[in-house]
Structure 1
Amino acid sequence: MSAALYNSLFILLIILPKGFSQLVRTQQVVTATLGEDAVLNCELMKTKDVRQVTWQKLTTGPNENVATYSKRGPNVNPPFKGKVEFEDEGLQNCSIIIRGVSRGDESCYKCLFNTFPDGPISGTTCLQVNELYGPSLLITQTNNSHTTLSCSATGRPAPIVTWDDMMIEHSTTVDVTHPNGTITVTTTATVAVASLTDKEVSIQSLSSSDKRRMQPAQEAVKR
């Protein structure tokens, strides 16, 4: 996420009237893997006369109005129709869901409660989009007792490659950063053939719950 967006968030917190930042409950950072849905929650912690709730996407230029909710009902602005929906509709609790997140959705989002007579009260949450591709597994039979396994995965942030319950005698890891910001992690290990039965290789995104597993390594060796 760009430094400019975080600076905008910092400035926003400074200019809020004292005590107002605690009136809105949001999640500071929401993480979602590319293609997943992301829910951004926003709740006003003290009952007030709210006339309208506005969701905005923070940009380096003017903020983009994403959606609004008022007594007349919900309204999603045309550029976000089909992409953004309301998860919770209300003047005290108003949450949106972003469908199939992409890199372009990564930003900070502000929910703004327009109240009377206090004026606007807002909270901000930032969406971080993770990417995860793979893994791919290369197996080389070195001798009757040992096998060399090489597992690669690509993601943003860098994925974690784990060898599950294997007798690893030697292991090396190489990271390669690509121009688009993704990182390929390749881990090569020498393991005992006897430890391959019904074992798996898994990868996990550093800051995501997304986890993927390879097929049992013994089956791959037989092929």
Structure 2
Amino acid sequence: MCGPALPLCLLLFIGGTHGKVTAPANLKAEVGRPLLLTCNITTTSRDTVHQVRWLNKQDKVLLAYEQSTPLRISHQDPNVQLTTSNKDASYITIKRVRPDDEGCYRCVFDVFPSGHQEARTCVSVTGKVRQEGNKTAVSGKSTTLSCWYSLPERVQQVLWRKTAEQGDTTTVASHARHGHHSVAEQFEGRVDLSRTLGDTQLTVQQVRTEDEACYTCEFHTYPDGTKSATTCLSVYVLPKPEVSHVASSSGFTEANCTAQSRPAADITWDVGGENKTLGPPVSSSYDQGDGTTIVTSTLLFQSGLLSEHSIKCIVHHPGLEKPLTAFVNTNMGSAMVILLSVCGVAAILLLCLCVCLCKCFICTDD
């Protein structure tokens, strides 16, 4: 078909079958995370890939290896590892992306007899927001919420928002690179915002139950755009148990243990020794409208227990390191023994004092 032009046809055929390398044109990478770079090559049956090289934006070789058996690596950057290699593909992983890893990377296949073939991938590096996670604060005390952005030099402004359980969102405070600093009027005097950009701390003084909400720290950056993270704050009101008891003429006593807290407390009893209670305790709870709940536990027992054992009300709450204990009574038998012992010691001391005075002043002969 080509006739006299056969040599030209063969040249065009050979030129059209050179290897072709494909790679993603653009990728986004997050600081501190691994990044996978991929290249694929299409070759003819006549082509043989002898060597693969990966170069960074400064044309510095990150990884170079020969397609032999076994594979022979001639150069490898400490932060780069070869993930996959075969005659049609080469994948490498940057183990931990750094801010200066932003730029274009080239994968070069040295092919015989076609010559080297290459493709390019350009990587843009973005930062990452880190925060402490959800927190719990105790009513009346202070708490601090913290966020960090891994590329602080890109942050132009930091802004904190509060989202209540009902879904209402309000701006709490903000700080900008050029010195603008503000705290919303409703939070003035109780909320402090650090004058920093890469790491930001929001401190709430004298925490109230209405401070329970989810708080979002927003980093307004260039060129990454807005990056944010959310942490939720739970507010505890610790219980202060109160106990009382009333005896009846029928020989039974009713003891009540009451605790107001947020969230609701769990109350148990310890009567010690032989169980002389009249059934299990009965609990009731009442929401107070301010987020707290009053829990009352009632225990009915034989009145003789008051003189035989110490009866304890034990209050459990997630905000306490250990349960609180309130006594309905003290062990009267033990108290009587202690009282008699103290009186006996006092009588002996008084007798000794009398003897000493007698010898010194009264019973001495002139």
Q: For 1:220 and 1:117, how far apart are their aligned partners in 2?
A: 73
State the Cα RMSD in Å. 3.8
Q: For 1:156 and 1:103, how far apart are their aligned partners in 2?
A: 9
Give the aligned residue type for 1:154: Q
Secondary structure at the aligned position of 2:189 is classed as: coil
Q: Point out where structure 2 has 5 or more consecutive residues left out of the alignment.
A: 1-27, 32-126, 336-366
Give the aligned residue type for 1:172: P
Identify if the C-alpha distance between structure 1 residues 182 and 48 changes in structure 2 by more than 3 Å, giving closer, same or farther.
Answer: same
Q: For 1:115 and 1:151, how far apart are their aligned partners in 2?
A: 55
Give the aligned residue type for 2:315: I
**Which structure has the bigger radius of gyration?**
2
Q: For 1:75 and 1:168, how far apart are their aligned partners in 2?
A: 64
Trace 1:1-223 onto structure 2 (pairs within 5 A).
23-59=128-164, 63-71=169-177, 72=179, 74-86=181-193, 88-140=194-246, 149-163=255-269, 166-167=272-273, 169=275, 170=277, 171-178=280-287, 180=289, 182-189=292-299, 190=301, 192-193=305-306, 194-196=308-310, 201-205=313-317, 207-209=318-320, 213=324, 216-219=327-330
Identify if the C-alpha distance between structure 1 residues 67 and 167 changes in structure 2 by more than 3 Å, giving closer, same or farther.
Answer: farther
Q: Deviations over 1:15-35 (max 9, x none)?
A: xx9979x92222442222332
Q: For 2:331 and 2:230, how far apart are their aligned partners in 1?
A: 48
Q: Deviations over 1:178-203 (max 9, x none)?
A: 2625433222344844431xx85442
Q: For 2:274 and 2:140, how far apart are their aligned partners in 1?
A: 34
Counterpart position of 1:3: none
Does the CA-based 8 Å contact 2:309-2:330 persist in structure 1? no
The TM-score with structure 2 as length reference comes to 0.45
Does the CA-based 8 Å contact 1:140-1:149 persist in structure 2? yes
Counterpart position of 2:59: none
Q: For 1:53 and 1:115, how far apart are their aligned partners in 2?
A: 9
Out of 50-59 and 211-220, give the one that drifted further. Answer: 211-220
Q: How far is 1:97 from its partner?
A: 1.3
Does the CA-based 8 Å contact 1:54-1:112 persist in structure 2? yes
Identical pairs, percent? 27
Identify if the C-alpha distance between structure 1 residues 202 and 23 changes in structure 2 by more than 3 Å, giving closer, same or farther.
Answer: farther
Give the aligned residue type for 2:186: P
Secondary structure at the aligned position of 1:90 is classed as: coil
Secondary structure at the aligned position of 2:203 is classed as: strand
Identify if the C-alpha distance between structure 1 residues 89 and 174 changes in structure 2 by more than 3 Å, giving closer, same or farther.
Answer: same
Q: Deviations over 1:152-179 (max 9, x none)?
A: 1122321122446844724414132326
Q: Deviations over 1:58-97 (max 9, x none)?
A: 25576322111234264322221101013x5421211111
Aligned length, in residue pairs: 200
Q: For 2:323 and 2:180, how far apart are their aligned partners in 1?
A: 41
Identify if the C-alpha distance between structure 1 residues 135 and 61 changes in structure 2 by more than 3 Å, giving closer, same or farther.
Answer: closer
Does the CA-based 8 Å contact 2:239-2:265 persist in structure 1? no
